[in-house]
Amino acid sequence: MDDRECLDRLDSTATDTEDLFEHFERRTAAGRTYHALPNARHGIERGTIVIEDTVVRGYPKIPRILVIEAGVPSFFENELAVEEKLDGVNVRIANIDEPLAFTRSGYVCPYTTARAKELLAPADFFREHPNRMLCVELVGPETPYTTHDYDEIDSHTFCVFDIRDRESGEPLPVLDRRELCSEYGFPQPRLFGRYRPSQAIDGIRAAIEMLDAAKREGVVIKTLNGEKMAKYTTKSQHHEELAYAFSLPFDRGRDFVFSRLVREAFQAAEFEADDDQLRKRAHRLGEAILLPMVETIRDTANGRSIGEQFTVRGSPEQIDALLEHLYDQSLTLEINEITRENDEQIVEFVKVAEATRDQIKYYLEEGVHRD
C-alpha cells in the first residue's frame, strides 16, 4: 500500500504522511521487512506495525486508578467488568501468512512467536478471524523478559486478555471475547465480576486484597464493550517493582521509583486506616528499597554478575533466534548454564545491567560523587 493509503487506514492525527512516517523504524525479522513505531505519535499507539499490506495496531496505554473510591465512579459511566491483570509481557499475535508475536514496542520476537504457535495453536482461530489479533500476556518464570512467579505456572504460558481488530484496534466486548477464548481453549484471566460503577468499589477492594495476599499484580477494569479501561495494582506488586528497580538502581531506579511510590502512598492512604498497619507497610516498603540496593552494592564489591537472570526453554533453533534477537537490541548477556531436557534446551542467562555495575564500581573505588 502507498503512504497516503496507510495514513488513512491508521486514522492518525498527523496532517501529512511524512509527519508520521519519519517516526517509524525499519526492521527485519525472519527475512521480512516491516516498519514499527517505537513511541506513541499523532494518535497512533506505540508499537504499531506496518508489514507488507497489513497494519497491526499497538496496544493502548491503560490509565491507572490511584484512588479507587474516586477513580472508578469518575472514570466509568457504564457497567464494567473486573478481570485479573497478570504480570508478564504484553504481546500481540496477528496472522500475517503465519502467526507472528509482536512485543509492546513493536519487535517481532522469534522466541515468543514459536512458543505461541506451540502453546496456543492459534491456526483455527486465525482461519475464522483473519483480521483479529490476540492480545496476550506471556507469563511465568521461564520467559526472556519477565520473571514474576505464579504458583500454578512451571515454565510459561499465554493468557489472552483482549481480542481486537488488528487494524482499527477495536476490541471485542468483554463477554464475547471470553466466550471466544473458551471456544478455542485459550487460557484467559480470572473475571472477578460485573458492576455498576458506584457498586464496584467494594468488589475491587476485595479482589485487590485477595490478589495482594497471593502476591499477584492487580486488576484491569473495563466497560463491557471493552473500550474504556483502567488498571489498579496491589501493594505486593508495588514492592516487587521497587525491589526490582533498586536491585538495578542506575539502570531502572531513577525513572521508575517516583511513580511507584506515589501509587503506594495513595493506596496506603485509602487502605490503611490503622496506624500500626500503615507503619508495617512502611517497613515492607523500606525493605523493598534498601535491601536489594545494598545487596547489589555488595555483589558488585564481590565481583558477582549484576543484572536480571532469566531462564528460557525451546528447541536449539528457537534459542539461537532468541539470543540473536536480544543481541540485536544491544543487550549484554552472560550465558550461565545450558541444559537439555528431551528435545529442548534450557538456558539460564543474565541481562547485564551495565550502568549499575559500572557506576557502583566507580563509587566503590573512588568513593566520591560530584553532581
Q: Which residues bind its own copies (CB under 8 A)?
A: 61, 63-72, 74-75, 230, 246, 249, 253-254, 257-259, 261-262, 264-266, 268-269, 272, 278-279, 281-291, 293-294, 297-298, 301, 363-371
DSSP codes of every residue in 289-349: HHHHHHHHHHHHHTT---EEEEEEEE-HHHHHHHHHHHHHTT--EEEEEEEEETTEEEEEE
Taking the complex as a whole, the smallest distance from the CB of residue 159 to its own copies amounts, in Å, to 25
Taking the complex as a whole, the smallest distance from the CB of residue 330 to its own copies amounts, in Å, to 24
Taking the complex as a whole, the smallest distance from the CB of residue 43 to its own copies amounts, in Å, to 14
**Could you give the angle at the alpha carbon of 106 between the alpha carbons of 351 and 308, nearest 5°?**
15
Residue with Cβ nearer its own copies (127 or 369): 369
Place of cell 554478575: 305
Query: What is the rounded distance in angstroms from the CA atom of residue 1 to the CA atom of residue 120?
Result: 31
Residue with Cβ nearer its own copies (72 or 120): 72
Residue with Cβ nearer its own copies (327 or 362): 362
Place of cell 493509503: 5
In this structure, are residues 364 and 301 in contact, taking their beta carbons and an 8 Å threshold? yes
Give the total residue count for the chain.
371
> How, if at all, do strands 89-96 and 49-51 pair?
unpaired
Residue with Cβ nearer its own copies (275 or 341): 275
Residue with Cβ nearer its own copies (267 or 318): 267
Taking the complex as a whole, the smallest distance from the CB of residue 289 to its own copies amounts, in Å, to 6
Which of 143, 278, 329 has the alpha carbon at shortest distance from 159? 143
Taking the complex as a whole, the smallest distance from the CB of residue 68 to its own copies amounts, in Å, to 7
**Residues pairing with 101 in the sheet:** 93
Residue with Cβ nearer its own copies (2 or 371): 371
Taking the complex as a whole, the smallest distance from the CB of residue 303 to its own copies amounts, in Å, to 15
Residue with Cβ nearer its own copies (113 or 300): 300
Name the DSSP letter for residue 253. Answer: I
Instruction: Give the orientation angle of helix 275-301 with respect to helix 254-271, to 10 degrees.
Output: 160
Taking the complex as a whole, the smallest distance from the CB of residue 336 to its own copies amounts, in Å, to 25
